[in-house]
Structures are given as structure tokens and as C-alpha cells.
Structure 1
Amino acid sequence: MEDFTCWWHPLGNLTEQEEIIYIFTYSKDEGPVVDCPDYISGGPNSCHFDSSHTSIWKMYCMNVTAVTAHRNYTSQQHCLDVAEIVQTEAPVNLTYKLTDAGGDELGHNVALTWAYPVPTDLQYGWITLVYELRYRRIAEVHNWKVKQPFREPRMELLGLPVGHYVVQVRCRSHNSGLWSRWSKELAMSIPARAPAGKLLVMVLALGVGVVALIVIILGVIPQSRRIKDYFLPPIPKPRIIGIDPLLLKKGHLDAINRHFSGFHNYCPPSYTEEVWENVMKGKNVPK
């Protein structure tokens, strides 16, 4: 906002021999009307205001008069504030980074960042910027998708499908409707596979899992017998003090009875032999 230039279109439908003189006049905050300070620096049909003639936060009202041999032509008055006509520089250093990969169906999240070429203008508060970002697939020349307006020099695109894209960004003062030029195009490629960072994390996680499984197999399985004995101790076999278990297995009842005869009120069982009579069919049995 140190200086500015005004231009006008010359009159048409006049003969080339007719001489025309243009007079540019202006006033500041309804002050006295004065002539243009510089008709040369801005080129033909212009008026340039250097830093000594530029005032911030003041209203300029101006018009142009074309003086011909027959009559004068005066334009409509045009009023403006310097802050309203600031055209900012195009942003620079536009970069991108994949922040999340959800696969081919969900797409990827992409973080975009950029910078203003004159950061001191922002640091001193002379201007507050708003941004506009646009992107498209490389093959779709006229199918731009636009994100605007926002004030931070960053933007995250969510769920961007796999493919190749072109991205640009521009800015303007929040008091002005004049956008800067678009930044240089940034070619952006969204891969079908996970980004290298996530792929590395997946490989490391898989490796750690395999190592842990091997440690479990080599360390826990050989100790399974000991663990089983700790949690499930063997059931003791029934045993009677003073009795040889082999006697119970071999079935020597006489020896067993002799051992038990020492117990109080023990009576050895009595055994009887069952008598089977052979019944023969077809023979008379005496009554």
C-alpha cells in the first residue's frame, strides 16, 4: 500500500487527426481537487501515485476529462480506498504430504502448505490475507474444484481418490476483491498403496509379532510339562499302609485277610462254592 496506479481507456470513434488531451484530477477525503502527480511512470493513459502521494485509510475520488478541439468529455467519478485495491503477490512454496491412507475406496488425506513471498507484510499487520485453493485431475482440464475462503496458509483435502492432480492457490487482502495471480501449478500424485511411512510401520509391527511368536514357541512349550504339573498335580493312587499293592493286583485273598485281621472288628468274608447241576435234556431225573 505504498503506491498505486490508475488507468483509463481512451476515447473511441474519433479521427486520427483530432488531438486529445487527458486531464486526471482527484481529491482526498473531500479535500481540494488537484491534478495527477505523474502521467509517465504508469505508461500511456495512466496516473501514478508514488509513496509521497499515497495515503492509507483515506478515500480518493477521481475522474478523467478528455479535451478535444470541439468539446470536453468527463468520466464518471470513481472513489476508492487504497486498502481496497491492493493486489497481493502470488503464494509460493506450495507443497503437499499424504497424512492418511484409507485404501483405494476411502482415498487419502492430503495436507497442503504454502507461504507468502513477503512475510514481513503479514508480520507487521499491514495486510490480512484470505486464500483460495483449486485442484483438478490432470486429465480433467476444466473441472476445477475450489476451496475458499480461508485465512490459514494450509489446507487438508480429505478422502482424495487415487490419481494424478494439479493444485494452485491464490490470495487477496480481506478488504479487497482483487485476487493475486495463481501460484505455480503443483503436480500431486495419490498412490494406490499405503505411503512409505505407514508401510514401514506395518512391516515393523509384523516383524515384532513374528519374533514374539517364536519366543513363545521356544520358551513356553518346553515348559508346558512343568506348568501342567504346577496347575494340575497328579492324583495320588489309593494306598493302605502296610499292604503291598501287588497283593491287591495278584488277588491272593488269604494273604490279604491275614493283613487285615489286625484291624478291630474285621471279619474275613466267607466264600461258598456254587453247585451247578447239569440238566440234560431228554433224560429222566429221579424225583
Structure 2
Amino acid sequence: NLDFCTSLGQSYPGKPKIIRCRSLEKETFSCWWKPGSDGRLPTNYTLFYSKDSEENFYECPDYRTSGPNSCYFDKNHTNPWTTYNITVTATNEIGSNSSDPQYVDVISIVQPDAPVNLSLETKTSAGIMYLWAKWSPPPLADVSSNSHVYHYELQLKPEKKEEWETISVGVQTQCKVTMLQAGVKYVVQVRCMLDRGEWSEWSSERRIQIPNGESSPEKPTIIKCRSPEKETFTCWWKPGSDGGHPTNYTLLYSKEGMWFCPSDIFWNSTSSNIFKIDCLESCHGTATAQ
């Protein structure tokens, strides 16, 4: 019979491959596999697992919830402090073949869904316009649990530009963003991470038009610092848009972890935007505008 099957091109199944295991919230997890060739015969797939150093193997408790070629571990079968040894075996009439084992620590495979309900609005305070962004945690998040602490990042960019700016928000579900360009439409997204797991995908994009008129100044750019003789040095910067306001510029510098605001000198946007530090014997520095 074996020779007859082989002559028809039939064979035992190819080796399956476990492609991913993921937990959304540390309380359940799923694993997915990619089948190998079926040997031209009906092929069944069985997921087996053991826990930590146990010798006993158990079969997947749920092959349906997470879709085709998957196994779902519900709360009764998930322990975040346990390492799972997982193998998928393919079997047909002629024989079987097993995947390489996958060792799964639930805490390290946590990747939540993206945050939802991102909303944007512009507000004004003291004549300065800013963007106010709010969102909700992922739908499965249990925010009442101390074990579910989500950290967030927000990214935004002008609609017509390619480069995103990323802002670390912490555990808050809202963010105030200044330094906006008046008359520009912005694109905003947010994502989250649970404990030391992976970042979620970015949420759906939201867009908002910043009204024309007054706004925060744009970010200045330091374009050059130069020392002609190792005893003094000068730095130059390029201002951004002044946002429709008289704009002052302050250069701060640090030495060995300490920040200084030299002589509390301010310059407005009509200055030459040059700052000079004279390094004297103590090398604490004196500040002069050029």
C-alpha cells in the first residue's frame, strides 16, 4: 500500500511551522501555525503543549475562536507566570510530522489591540492655540485592574509631510500638543503597550485642520556651533514660524548634567540669533549676544 500511495505522489505531510503566539491582555493567548504540504491527502493538525518542566502533554482547548490554523487558550488555560512548550503535529493516512517546539512566556508575547475613540479638537489658552487629543484604552482592557497598566505614544505630522513626530504620553489617555502650524491639517495616531510587552498597532488616523491666525511658534533649529581658538565658541540657530506673535528665543546649555540659562538673556525674532559663551578660567561661562 505504501508503494502504491507513493507512486501516486502521496506522502506523509510536510512540517508545520508555528508563526506567532500573542496575548492581548495577559489573561488569554493564541498561537497560529502555517501548514506544510498535505502530501495530497486529508491532513489533521493537533496542537500539544506542556507547562514548565511537566512531562504531561495536553491538547489545544479551542481550535475555533482565533480562526483557521490556530489554538486559543482561555483564562482557565492561561497562567502568565508559566512557560508553555508548544508543538503542532500534522497527520494523514501515511504518517505525521511535527513542528519545531515553541517556548511561550505569556508576559513576553503581550501585544494589545490599538486604542480606540481617538478624538481631536483645537483650544486656545492665553492667546496660544493647541491641539487636545483624547482616546480610550483597547476594548478588552480592564482599566480597573492594577495589573493592566497601559502606556501610550502619540504621533502626528502635517498631512502633506512624510516624517512623523512621536510623543511619549505615559499612562494618560489624553495629550496637549503645542508647536502647531496655523492653517495646516495634521494627521494623528495613538498606540499603547501593556507592561513590558510589544507596542500595539497604531490606531486609525484622525485629521484636524488648525485654523489660521495665532499659534505657537515652530521649533527652532540649531544649525552650527564653532570655536575659532578653543577658548570661545559661538552657536547659530534658525527660527521657525513665529505663529503671529512677537517671539523670544532662549538658549539653554548644560555641563555635566546641569542646565543653565546664561544671564537670562532673551532674543526676539529680529535678532541675529547668535549666542556666544566665553570659557574663562573656571569655565562656568559668560553669555553675550552677538
Question: TM range, normalised to the smaller chain?
Answer: 0.5 to 0.7
Q: Is 2:36 the counterpart of 1:8? A: no
Q: Tell me the residue number matched to 2:212.
A: 192
State whether residues 99 and 111 of structure 1, in contact with CA within 8 Å, keep that contact through their aligned partners in structure 2. no
**Structure 1 partner of 2:77:** 53
Aligned twin of 1:129 = 150
2: distance between equivalents of 1:144 and 1:125? Answer: 32
TM-fit CA distance, 1:34? 1.4
CA contact (8 A) 1:131 1:149 kept: yes
Q: 1:66 aligns with which of 90, 107, 111?
A: 90
The answer (yes or no) to whether the contact 2:90–2:97 under 8 Å persists in 1 is yes
Cα shift readout 1:195-239 (whole Å, capped 9, x = no counterpart): 8xxxxxxxxxxxxxxxxxxxxxxxxxxxxxxxxxxxxxxxxxxxx
| Secondary structure of 1:121's aligned partner | coil
Q: In 2, Cα distance between the equivalents of 1:21 and 1:94?
A: 47
- Give the Cα–Cα distance (whole angstroms) in 2 for the partners of residues 59 and 149 of structure 1: 32
Q: Distance in 2 between matches of 1:149 and 1:58?
A: 31
Q: Residue in 2 aligned with 1:262?
A: none
C-alpha displacement of 1:158: 3.0
TM-score, structure 1 normalization: 0.55
Match of 1:41 in 2: 65
TM-score (norm 2): 0.55
CA contact (8 A) 1:85 1:178 kept: no
Q: Distance in 2 between matches of 1:127 and 1:71?
A: 45
Give, as a single letter, the amino acid of the residue that structure 2 aligns with 1:73.
N
Task: Identify the residue that residue 170 of structure 1 maps to in structure 2.
Answer: 191
8 Å contact from structure 1 (residues 21, 66) kept in 2:
yes
The residue type paired with residue 44 of structure 1 is P
Which residue type is aligned with residue 182 of structure 1?
W
Percent identity over paired residues: 32
Of 170, 176, 180, 1:150 maps to 170
2:180 matched residue in structure 1: 160
Residue 94 (structure 1) aligned with residue 115 (structure 2): no
Distance 1:121 1:25, change over 3 A: same
For 2:137, the equivalent position in structure 1 comes to: 116
Once residues 145 and 90 of structure 1 are traced to their aligned partners in structure 2, the CA distance between those partners, rounded to angstroms, is 18
**Do the aligned partners of 2:169 and 2:175 also contact (CA within 8 Å) in 1?**
no
Q: Which has the higher helix share?
A: 1
Q: What's the Cα RMSD here?
A: 2.9
Deviations 1:74-120 (A, max 9, x none): 222212233333343432243333345778xxxx5434332325597
